[in-house]
Amino acid sequence: MVFDQASGVVLNRVEIPAKGCEIAAVEPALKSQNIEGQVVTLDALHTPVDTARYIVEEKHAHYLLNLQATAAHFAT
């Protein structure tokens, strides 16, 4: 779900199959959104480098990803 914090409006939703992968839904959910210069927040599930790269390089936005202690490789 793409949610606009300021207005409280849901901008986009992508259905995820019952046994589907939520990670794969990030790109389709953001694809139609003009988020250039905006900050995208995601939970720890969405910490793969490909997700961050898509947000920064393709959408020209910023990101705030929550990391779990097991994601120590991001601290380098």
Say what the pTM is.
0.73
Supply the mean pLDDT for the chain.
81
Phi (first) and psi of residue 40, to 5 degrees: -105, 130
Question: How many folded domains does the chain comprise?
Answer: 1
Q: What is the dihedral of CA 25, 27, 29, 31, to 10 degrees?
A: -160
Query: Is pLDDT above 70 for 73?
Result: no
Residue 9 belongs to what domain range? 2-75
Q: How confident is the model at residue 76 (pLDDT cuts 50, 70, 90)?
A: very low
Q: Using one digit for the tens of pLDDT, what is the confidence trace for 37-66?
A: 999 888 777 777 888 899 999 999 998 877
Return the exposure string of 19-48: e unless at least 16 CB atoms fall within 10 Å of the residue's CB, then b: eeeeeebbeebbeeeebeeeebebeeebbe
